[in-house]
Every structure is written in C-alpha cells, then in structure tokens.
Amino acid sequence: MQRFKPEQALCETRREFGEHGGVTPSISRSATFTVMDPATMPEIFGGRRGPESGGCFLYSRHFNPTSSILGRYLAAMENTEAAICTASGMAAISSTLLQLCHRGDHIVSSDTIYGGSHALFNDLMPQMGIDTTFVDPSDLEAVSRAITPQTRVLYTEAMANPTLKMAHIPKLADLAHRRGIKLVVDNTFTPMMISPAVLGADIVVYSLTKFINGASDVIAGAICADKAFIHQLMDLHTGRVMLLGPTMDPRVAYDIIQRLPHLAIRMREHSRRAHRIASRLEELGVPVIYPGLAAHPQHALVTELINEGYGYGGLMAIDCGTQRLADAFMDRLQNEEDFGYIAVSLGYYDTLMSCSSATTSSEISDDAQKMMGLSEGLVRLSVGFTGSLAERLAQMERAVIAVGLHRS
C-alpha cells in the first residue's frame, strides 16, 4: 500500500478565504487587472514578476486568481510543484502533448485510452507531423521496442478507459526516464486513489469533468507538473495554454474548489458500492471486470499502487458479449429498475452507464478495439452513491437475471 495521503496534503495546503472574511474564496471574474506601477509592466509581461513575485495578475487567459487557487489545491493533491486549469480534459491533454511534441516527433501511447485522446493521437496529430505508436502498456518489452530517437512522450491512463486495465506507472516511469522521455499519465478514473506523480510520472492530466467535480454540470481539465513545465505552457510566445487559449472560467474553478473537500468521501463511497455490486455480480456468474476482485488479473498490482483508504474505484465493466444484449441490459437498468442513467461520462453521484464500443471508444477502429480487448458488448458503469445500496443490489440482480447475464 502507498504511503502518500492526498487528502492530508490537500488539507495542509494554504487555505484561501474570500473578501470580507468569507469562508469560501471570492470569485475573481475580472478579465484584466490594474497595474499600480506602470514601470513594472514590462517585467510582468516578460513573466518575471507574477502575483507571487512582487507583480500582479495581468489578464485572465494568463493567470486568474480563482483558477490559480484551484491549481494550487490540485498540485497539493497530486504532489506536483504546480498545476494549471483548462477548459476541458481534452484541452489539458492536447495542450500538454502539443507543448512536448513538435513536427517530426513521436509518441508511444497505451493502446487503451479514451476515444477522444485516441483520435487526437491517431487522426489529428499526424496532420501536424506528430506520429503515435500504440502498444499494450503492460508489455514493457513492446513499449521499449516502440521508443525511437524521435519519441518525446510515453502516454498512458492510470486506469484505462474502458477496460480498466492498470498501468504499472513506476515501471513505465523508469523506462521513460532511462530513455530520456516524459511519462504523461491521465488520472481521470482514479483521483486520490492513484498518485501518478508520486509513482514517477512527470505530468498528470485530468478531465475534472468526472470524479473531481462530481456533479456532471461542468466541463473542465487540469495539468499537474513541475513549475518549469507550467511556465512553458503559459509562455507568452509559445505556451500552448496561453496561445491556444483553453481558459477555465473562474466560476467553474469556484464550483470545483467547493467540491474538492468532499472528493475523498465521494471516492470512498463510489468504491465501496462498486466493490459490493461487483462481488455480487461475480457470485451470480456475471462476466464482471472490477480491479478490487481477487480474481481480477491485476488485483495484486492495483493493490500495490493505490493509496490506502480509497478502495478500488467507482468503475466497473460488464461484458454482455453483444451490443444487442448490452442495450437490453442498460434499458432494463434505466427504464425498469431506475438503477442509473444511460449516459456517457463518469464520476457522477448517480450511476452512469454506456456501451463503450459504440460511444466513448467509437473513434477507435474495430481492429484497434479488438487489439485492446474491447468487446462490442462491454458496458462501462460508473457507480453512483444515491439511494440505498441494498436496493441497488436488488435492482442489479433483477436486471441481470431478466436479460440472462447470470450463470444459469
């Protein structure tokens, strides 16, 4: 079990109070900021004098007081020197990769990643002269063979969307660093549970849209890294966040700041319920994938990598075999049992479920889906924590029996 305590780190970071003594921080919505001494303007513009080095805020696409508070909290939680917030998870991923890679460069990526990230690497970035080789990240030999002198980045999700395969971050970090490249980890599925930077990752990217915000009401992202990389992203001449402009709205930053203090409690409850439901499904002989089950092939690895006290996560997958059966199962769960919603995304307080091959992995070709072990009937469930667990177990049991997913 890991020793890092993200909850404690978050709690120990300097607390920000609002104007007039408010217990919540103020929302600073100003697009621009008054510079009191005009002589300091060139230094502020040159990035030598920021708000924490005798200067002031300049313009909210650069740094904004409210978004900076969220960035500081996220950096504490991830144990990185700094973090920058972005308008979406895709903005965090694309800005990071475009900052690290230029024309002629190469990425080695896990073959099992969110469909949008896959499309970015496979379809869009080649148009900019940046190519990607996709490999199974658990095959370290294959990862090593895929690295070329042009490779700049090794990219993986800590827990893969949607097969829930776990990356061995310490081994990947070791390999990346021996070959002089950066390890970038998307930790969207496993905040608090996994601390990629503590395990050796150089940069941690997030879709905050999911568990971290937890209310499915905003789209947001973040990049957690060392100060030097965050400053590169904000450089006035070449910074990808500064110049491509995926700025987080300070009102969104405020909303997420308000939800961070209960992220740990939510993660524990997502995990507790997912574990109980997965265990019951296993007893019923349903083909369920959940890393917390002892029979899961990576159970020992996940147990080694997770921070103590957050369980094995809120996501599980059920392989229904065919899309027809997957649809019948989800239809039953939503429309007969009221168990949750047929909707993409995850990390909501209610259960969300979708058939991945036809939705959030649909950008990935059928052959590539086969290679990553994604069945057309795989239903990904993000287990929520509303309602009584006993009732949710009963609803799930009735649904699997009704559609014949159980062992007969």
* List of residues contacting ligand PLP (CB under 6 A): 88-90, 114, 116-117, 157, 161, 186, 188, 207, 209, 219, 221, 360
CB nearer to ligand PLP: give 67 or 207. 207
CB nearer to ligand PLP: give 78 or 186. 186
Residue 71 CA: distances (Å) to CA of 83, 223, 277: 5, 9, 35
CB nearer to ligand PLP: give 25 or 246. 246
Supply the minimum distance, in Å, between the C-beta of residue 189 and ligand PLP. Answer: 6
How far, in Å, CA of 25 to CA of 219, rounded?
A: 21
Supply the minimum distance, in Å, between the C-beta of residue 222 and ligand PLP. Answer: 10
CB nearer to ligand PLP: give 118 or 296. 118
CB nearer to ligand PLP: give 263 or 405. 263
Supply the minimum distance, in Å, between the C-beta of residue 268 and ligand PLP. Answer: 21
> Omega before 250 cis (within 30°)?
no
- Residue of closest CB approach to ligand PLP: 89
H helix runs in 21-146, sequence order: 41-45, 65-78, 89-100, 115-119, 140-146
Torsion of CA 356, 360, 364, 368, to 10 degrees: -30
Among 148, 98, 145, 100, which residue's Cα sits nearest to residue 125? 98
Any residues with CB less than 8 A from the CB of 61 and at least 6 apart, and which?
242, 245, 247
Question: What is the token pair recorded at 311?
Answer: 């369980």
CB nearer to ligand PLP: give 191 or 221. 221
CB nearer to ligand PLP: give 58 or 372. 372
Supply the minimum distance, in Å, between the C-beta of residue 205 and ligand PLP. Answer: 7
Question: Hey, is 108 helix, strand or coil?
Answer: strand
Supply the minimum distance, in Å, between the C-beta of residue 226 and ligand PLP. Answer: 21
Among 243, 241, 267, 264, which residue's Cα sits nearest to residue 67? 241
C-alpha angle 44/49/52, rounded to 5°? 130
Supply the minimum distance, in Å, between the C-beta of residue 333 and ligand PLP. Answer: 20
Supply the minimum distance, in Å, between the C-beta of residue 369 and ligand PLP. Answer: 16
